[in-house]
Amino acid sequence: MKVIGLTGGIGSGKSTFCELMAEHGIATVDTDQISRQVVAPNSAGLAQVVKEFGVEILNSDDSLNRAALREKIFADPLDQSARQKLEMILHPLIQAETQKQIQDYQQDESYQAPYLLVAIPLLVEGILKKGHKPDYVDEIWVLDCSEETQIQRASQRDGVNLENIKNILEHQASREQRQSYADKIIHNDGDLAKLNQQIKRFFSPTKAKSH
């Protein structure tokens, strides 16, 4: 089983791709979901984040207000320190849980699929910072589309304001940087049928059946 680090910028189609791959029996370890899990209400992770950023990043039910936190992180585009502090709290927690979930699949004899996807939105940013990919990733697959498509899809999906999306885009790796680390590029400027066509190719039999 190959462990695939799946990445792509905001709104590039990572979740959509994983859903389509699930129809072929391919599971996903979702690091976005893990990043929420490690700051769930009453978690040690959330307590650390509140200590750093204040109670105003909590909703009234004590869950994390991600929009409020994001505003703090991206408030000043030139100041990376808040983002770095957050990463220093969250990364070790996310890393440990991600590795645990991958191991669970590796040890699960009922999981016989050729791939396990590990969706890591900031995979390339991490490589640029550390100089190497995570040990547990065998290949890097990149969801790729134009920035216009990213902005259009992300804003339609979330109703996030355009400035915020552009701000996030500026802080993410460029399209070219992602492409340069890709073992496979999945093109997602087209419709869902086009995306599906590429996926089917991963599973098309190498030999045609002879009758």
CB of 8 to ligand ATP, least distance (A): 5
- Asked if residue 175 binds ligand ATP (CB under 6 A), the reply is no
Long-range contacts, 200-204 (Cβ 8 Å, 24+): 202/24, 202/115, 203/24
Q: Which stretch binds ligand ATP (CB under 6 A): 10-18, 82-90, 106-114, 132-140?
A: 10-18
The dihedral sign for the CA sequence 107, 108, 114, 117: negative
Min separation Cβ 168 and ligand ATP, Å: 8
Is 14 one of the binding residues for ligand ATP (CB under 6 A)? Answer: yes
Minimum distance from residue 181 beta carbon to ligand ATP (Å): 16
Residue of the chain from 5, 13, 45, 134 that contacts ligand ATP (CB under 6 A): 13
Q: Does 157 participate in binding ligand ATP (rule CB under 6 A)?
A: yes
Residue 126 is a binding residue for ligand ATP (CB under 6 A): no
Q: Check if the beta carbon of residue 13 is closer than 8 Å to that of residue 189.
A: no
191 near ligand ATP, rule: CB under 6 A: yes
Q: Which of 5, 8, 126, 134 binds ligand ATP (CB under 6 A)?
A: 8
Q: Which two tokens stand for residue 50?
A: 């509140």
Q: Does 131 appear as a known binding residue? A: no
Select from 52-60, 73-81, 83-91, 152-160 the region that touches ligand ATP (CB under 6 A).
152-160
Q: Is 11 among the annotated ligand-binding positions?
A: yes
